[in-house]
Amino acid sequence: MNRLDGLPTCRIDSSRKIEFSWQNRRFTGVAGDTVATALYAGGVRIFSRSLKYHRPRGLYSLDGESSNTCVGIDGIPNVSAENTVLKEGMQVRAQNVMGTPRLDLMGFLDKLDWAMPAGFYYRTMHRPAAVWPIALKQVRKMAGLGKISPDFQMPGRFDEIYPTADVCVIGGGPAGLSAALAAAGTGLRVIVMESRPWLGGFFDFRVCEYRPGLPLYERAAELAAQVEKAANIQVFKNTAMVGAYSNNLITAFQKGEADDPFDERYIEVRAKSVVVATGCMERPLLFENNERPGVMQAACAHRLAHTYGLVAGQKAVFSIGHDLGIEAAIDLFDLGLEVSCVADIRKEGQDRELVEKLAERGIDFLPGWTAVDCSGKTVKSARLCNLDTYVQEQFECDLLVASAGMTPVTGPLCLAQAKMAYDAHTGYFLPRQLPARVHACGRLLGLNDAAAIEVSGQVAGYSATLDCGVSVEEGLRQAREKLDSLAGPAKGCDLVMAPVKGRKAFICFDEDTTVKNIKQTLAMGFDATELIKRFSAAGTGPAQGAIPGHNLALFVARYHGRSSAITQPTTVRDPLVPVHIATYAGAYHDMCKRTPMHDAQKTAGGIMQRIGVWKRARYFSSDTACTAEIENVRNNVGMLDATTLGKFRIWGPDAVKALQRVYISDMSKIREGRIKYSAMCNEDGCIIDDGVVVKRGENDYYFTTSTARAGQTVEWFRYHSRYDNWDFNMVNLTDAYGVINLAGPNARKVLEKLTEADITNSAFAYGGFCEFKIKNTIPVRAMRLGFVGELSFELHVPSSYMQSLWAMLEEAGRPFNIQPFGLEAQNVLRMEKGHLIIGSESEQRTTLNDVGLSFLWDRSKSKAGTVGAVALMHTEKQEGRLKLVGFKMDNAQRAPRDGSIVVDQNVCGHVCIARYSTTLKEVIGMALVKDHLAGEGAQLDIYEDECNGQLMHAHVVKMPFYDVKGERLSM
Amino acid sequence: MALTLTCPICGERNGYEFRYGGEDKGPRPRAEDPAPGHWCEYVHMSPCVAGIRKEWWYHKDGCGVWFTTERDTTTSLEVKQPEKTR
Ligand SMILES: [Zn+2]
């Protein structure tokens, strides 16, 4: 198809070709095309088949008002071809088609419409109930939009941004741009969103005059240039507003252009004030076969020519109900389209000049006429009818431009909770009551006059400015006065229909709902529009109410014989425009933390895994049983990066009070130089954390928490003292300090080489805390702990020294063949010792008593004053609780998987951890089991996933499994 | 998130930055041996009345203060500037 070249309104560059495929055939479009216009240019008239009746569907609008042009693009179904800018190499496929769009094997369904009345699925497929699952599959095969492979991986780059603005303007047409300029002129920060790839709205493609010598499209360019030039206006093009929430939160999504670093991105704008300037779309004309390919809206035909250089057909019939339709006919005639006639629903009230122009061109003008039917798979002829005499006349044509009137795009206003009401003069739903800090302007208010549209934008812009606390009362007053002097809303066109049954007159294209279906629904007693929508499905498709919204309400009111029946448009919901879930998900920011020893551990062969927010070394060889790592700690010396431990300083006059509140033990008696091990419970007595506390000075403490709790500890302390006004400070040192656990019988020999401090067992015994320097430089906070059950020194040093210390320990330990060990080795080592990890050996319901740590609870402390103590007291004697036990497997060869359940007749608990112990040469583990199984010697029957009923057996034993007397860690 | 809250230190911020800390139910009961029911009542039960509630919020992605503010639970809008906690 040849493009009109040289039109000043064109948005295409016909010299730049873009290759793509349609149904596996090669097509060529041009830069600036949408997928829909490129296909249309390539001669495609049937884009898809309809949901229920498999009727052929074609290009009807250009802004995605229906699912007619939903296609599959690069494997993604239900993409609106109208809203998708063509890109090189796109693979476009028709959907809901068996065979080809032109010859669809399911096309016979169109003849069976009599068998599928309104509410067909609701009424037929539920009895007997067993029918439904089978019917569902068949229905899904025949009806439904698009297909997606279960293995489909969403391609593309997604992003998200959260800008703030003083004023957010939705709609980049003349009203929106005027509003933006008014607000930005006072210095406010303004955001403008426009769903098309350019600004200008409905001025953009029109050649008639704004004022003598200045056509509308040039006026649009003027406004756009001013907006683009303003430093305080941020313009988002290709951006569809999809949601509005309280506090003026506006969500939208933007499609990326070729040089954008994203394909789609989610935008969440918080604005002090919002201006909605979304303008109008067209209200479809109802007649038989009103959705045949070849029938299109006036602006669609008009913009195809002026924006994309495509004359939509050879010979056209116009059946319209507004002056824009006449304007389109004249313009298109001038561009070479043969126009048989222009039928206008209105008997009078047309713009005289336009009617004269029709006469000048010799185009038949038929006021008081409308289309009743058209024939052909794609339009071959149209039948028109006089609305008074019912005289009919047939016209050969391949294009039927049909449009009953205009309808404001009220979706954004409705989402913002504006109250809408029917206005008899314009025939529109107009905002009657706007929420605070939301304004509407332009065609949305029924305005038609170009100047009035712009001035109403200024009024909205100034009103929004006032919301932001900037005084523009004078400007607002002047703009209002000017608006009053300009033309107000024009008289709209009522719902007019030719005398037809409506069996093939579609009120909703997406859901294949006909006028007849609506009549059936009404006859069944559904009277409210909202219920009719539910039952007939009109307006429940991807485009929501875009096609049926206005007509449905008008039709229902006419049926009831009173316009008062029109109250509210049917509800629209966010997202207003279909959005990929991937777009909502945004960019996948897999953020994690590394310890200062990350690289050193990798060099040493560490296999790093994501654990919580950290990347940590899980293994140091491919042996996931970690035999060598474990043996090295038990018999020699190893080192572990324990930096991820939560580390905190708490100080101030009331620091002890805060510690007393959250720890279960008596924290008032911590001796300097000694470590206090304790735990925190929640108010239910359930254990949430354990760690050690040391005293570094008067009212000055340093403590550790488990890795998982590091992020919430300050919050926890502050929450539980929120009523107390205690004077204490806390600082989270987790990232400021690194920790190396030097463990094994040779640990002291290694450390002695690096410090002159006395670290002999008598000076620095198990449970001790001391501070010294390594190589006279690195300040160390050292703790004698024994988590892995061997002599060990936990060395806390500033993060900046960690790499050096790691290297020094490697160096000093070389004569002993020191080796790093990872988390899995530590996991087995501590299990052998019966030490637990909160979250592994406990769950949400596990109390301090349940895990055998009740000795930590100081009962002499105030129970009411200690978080969890009251609940511990209440649950202490409770029966049926899950208790932590140690067990040995009867069969020493295989460990059940962590999380396997313990059963008798019922589920009695689960395995927390079970491993083959290299040290003990048997399989041991810990489990949380019902109290009747918690006694020593009790048999545990373990059900592992996929065990086919073959239970594994174990017996409860006392813990610890290893070094019962605790001699090794106090060496 | 549509909700915004006014932190007494940082000012009005996006609701994403805060964690809910429950309705304001007053300080912990002082009784050393409360009945389990009474204790549960304090720990877990809230009136949850539709309307304006005084609530605790934590500015987790900000300054780390716990503060109270009044929010209308029917609109999820903050109704006035919160009082200072310290
Ligand atoms: Zn704050």
C-alpha distance from A650 to closest chain B C-alpha (Å): 15
In a domain, residue A5? The reply is no
pLDDT at A145: 67
Q: Edge-to-edge, what's the strand order for the sheet holding A13-22?
A: A25-31, A13-22, A91-93, A70-73, A76-80
Single-letter amino acid code for the residue at A420 = M
Q: In chain B, what residues touch A724 (CB-CB under 8 Å)?
A: 27
Q: In chain B, what residues touch A714 (CB-CB under 8 Å)?
A: 64
In a domain, residue A871? The reply is no
Average pLDDT, chain A: 93
Q: In chain B, what residues touch A591 (CB-CB under 8 Å)?
A: none
Residue B19 and residue A862: Cβ atoms within 8 Å?
no
d(CA A64, CA A70): 8
In a domain, residue A952? The reply is yes
Domain end, chosen from A808, A829, A850, is at: A829
C-alpha distance from B15 to closest chain A C-alpha (Å): 11
Cβ within 8 Å of A, B 9-48: 14, 19, 21, 26-34, 36, 39, 43
A252: domain CATH number is 3.50.50.60
d(CA A860, CA A875): 18
- Alpha helices (H) in A502-624, listed in sequence order: 515-523, 529-536, 549-560, 581-585, 598-603
Domain co-membership, A637 together with A745: yes
Which tens digit of pLDDT belongs to each residue from A522-552? 999 988 888 999 999 999 888 888 888 889 9
> What is the distance in A from the centroid of ligand 1 to the CA of B9?
5
Domain co-membership, A61 together with A170: no
Contact (Cβ atoms closer than 8 angstroms) between residue A250 and residue A171:
no
In a domain, residue A583? The reply is no
Cross-strand pairs, A887: A925, A956
Which tens digit of pLDDT belongs to each residue from A677-713? 999 999 999 999 999 999 999 999 999 999 999 999 9
SS3 letters across A93-109: ECCCCCECCCCEHHHHH
Which helix (H) or strand (E) segment is A158 a member of?
Answer: strand A158-161
Of B39, B65, B86, the CB nearest to A870: B39
In a domain, residue A687? The reply is yes
pLDDT band at residue A778 under the 50/70/90 scheme: very high
Q: What's chain B's length in residues? A: 86
Domains recognised in chain B with CATH numbers:
4-27+34-80 (3.30.2270.10)
Of B1, B30, B65, the CB nearest to A864: B30
Place of tokens 């953020």: A591
Neighbours of ion ligand 1 (CB under 5 A): B 7, 9-10, 59, 62-63
d(CA A383, CA A263): 45
Cβ within 8 Å of B, A 825-844: none
Distance set, CA A473 to CA A186, A189, A459, A509 (Å): 12, 19, 10, 47
- Closest Cα partner for A12 from A307, A447, A429? A307
Domain co-membership, A198 together with A217: yes
pLDDT at B82: 47
Residue A862 and residue B32: Cβ atoms within 8 Å?
yes
pLDDT at A561: 80
> What is the distance in A from the centroid of ligand 1 to the CA of B81?
13
pLDDT band at residue A141 under the 50/70/90 scheme: low
The boundaries of the domain holding residue A29 are 13-122
Q: In chain B, what residues touch A874 (CB-CB under 8 Å)?
A: 36, 39
Domain end, chosen from A694, A709, A732, is at: A732
In a domain, residue A492? The reply is no
Domain co-membership, A116 together with A193: no
- Closest Cα partner for A629 from A839, A384, A823, A499? A823
Split into its structural domains, chain A has a count of: 7
Which tens digit of pLDDT belongs to each residue from A169-215? 999 999 999 999 999 999 999 999 999 999 999 999 999 999 999 99
Domain co-membership, A633 together with A651: no
Count Cα atoms within 13 angstroms, Cβ side, for A206: 24
Which of the pair, A565 or A821, is modelled with greater confidence?
A821
A777: domain CATH number is 3.30.1360.120
Contact (Cβ atoms closer than 8 angstroms) between residue A218 and residue A209:
no
Domain co-membership, A94 together with A30: yes
pLDDT at A140: 67
Which helix (H) or strand (E) segment is A823 a member of?
Answer: helix A823-832
CB atoms within 10 A of CB A26: 9
> What is the distance in A from the centroid of ligand 1 to the CA of B57?
10
d(CA A251, CA A170): 11
Is pLDDT at A123 greater than 90 in this prediction? Answer: no
Count Cα atoms within 13 angstroms, Cβ side, for A574: 18
Is pLDDT at A23 greater than 80 in this prediction? Answer: yes
pLDDT band at residue A321 under the 50/70/90 scheme: very high
List Cβ<8 Å contacts ≥24 apart for A483-487. A483/A452, A483/A455, A483/A456, A483/A459, A486/A449, A486/A451, A486/A452, A486/A455, A487/A447, A487/A448, A487/A449, A487/A451, A487/A452
In a domain, residue A321? The reply is yes
DSSP string, A553-566: HHHHHHHHT-GGG-
Residue B43 and residue A715: Cβ atoms within 8 Å?
no
d(CA A17, CA A256): 20
CB atoms within 10 A of CB A697: 9
* Distance, CA of A179 to chain centre: 30
pLDDT at A289: 96
Counting residues of chain A whose pLDDT is more than 90, the rounded percentage is 83
DSSP string, A318-334: EEESSHHHHHHHHHHHH
Domain co-membership, A176 together with A94: no
C-alpha distance from A648 to closest chain B C-alpha (Å): 15
pLDDT at A441: 98
Residue A722 and residue B65: Cβ atoms within 8 Å?
no
Q: In chain B, what residues touch A870 (CB-CB under 8 Å)?
A: 34, 39
pLDDT band at residue B85 under the 50/70/90 scheme: very low
A175 touches chain B (CB under 8 A): no
* Distance, CA of A604 to chain centre: 41
Domain co-membership, A315 together with A383: yes
Which of B14, B54, B75 should be substituted to probe chain A, the one whose Cβ sees the most A Cβ atoms within 10 Å?
B14
- Closest Cα partner for A720 from B64, B21, B68, B9? B21
Question: What's the token pair of residue A103?
Answer: 């010859």
In a domain, residue A535? The reply is yes
Nearest 5°: the CA angle A182, A252, B20 is 105
Q: In chain A, what residues touch B75 (CB-CB under 8 Å)?
A: 246
pLDDT at A563: 63
d(CA A464, CA A441): 11
A715 touches chain B (CB under 8 A): yes
Which tens digit of pLDDT belongs to each residue from A842-867? 999 999 999 999 999 999 999 999 99
pLDDT band at residue A564 under the 50/70/90 scheme: low
Is pLDDT at A512 greater than 80 in this prediction? Answer: yes
pLDDT band at residue B86 under the 50/70/90 scheme: very low
Q: In chain B, what residues touch A715 (CB-CB under 8 Å)?
A: 19, 58, 60, 64, 66
Domain co-membership, A366 together with A241: no
Is pLDDT at A349 greater than 70 in this prediction? Answer: yes
Q: In chain A, what residues touch B4 (CB-CB under 8 Å)?
A: 247, 270
d(CA A339, CA A395): 11
Question: What's the token pair of residue A405?
Answer: 């009137």
Nearest 5°: the CA angle B61, B66, B68 is 120
pLDDT at A142: 66
Cβ within 8 Å of A, B 46-65: 56, 58, 60, 64-65
ipTM value > 0.85: yes
- Closest Cα partner for A428 from A445, A441, A415, A449? A445
Which of the pair, A770 or A143, is modelled with greater confidence?
A770
Domain co-membership, A707 together with A756: no
Domain end, chosen from A671, A706, A732, is at: A732
Cβ within 8 Å of B, A 440-459: none
Pairing of strands A700-705, A769-774: unpaired
Average pLDDT over residues A114-138: 72
d(CA A538, CA A529): 10
B79: nearest CA partner in chain A: A247
C-alpha distance from B9 to closest chain A C-alpha (Å): 15
Of A24-33, A313-322, A584-593, A937-946, which range is least confident? A584-593
Domain co-membership, A714 together with A775: no
**CA-based radius of gyration for chain A:** 38
> Chains A, B: CB contacts under 8 A, how many?
57
DSSP assignment letter at A805: H
> What is the distance in A from the centroid of ligand 1 to the CA of B84?
11
pLDDT at A290: 95
Of B4, B60, B77, the CB nearest to A715: B60
Domain co-membership, A651 together with A638: no
pLDDT band at residue A649 under the 50/70/90 scheme: very high
Counting residues of chain A whose pLDDT is more than 70, the rounded percentage is 98
pLDDT at A529: 86
pLDDT at A337: 96
pLDDT at A953: 96
d(CA B84, CA B86): 6
- pTM of structure: 0.86
Q: In chain A, what residues touch B56 (CB-CB under 8 Å)?
A: 719, 722
A898: domain CATH number is 2.40.30.110
Which of A162, A168, A246 should be substituted to probe chain B, the one whose Cβ sees the most B Cβ atoms within 10 Å?
A246
Average pLDDT over residues A569-591: 88
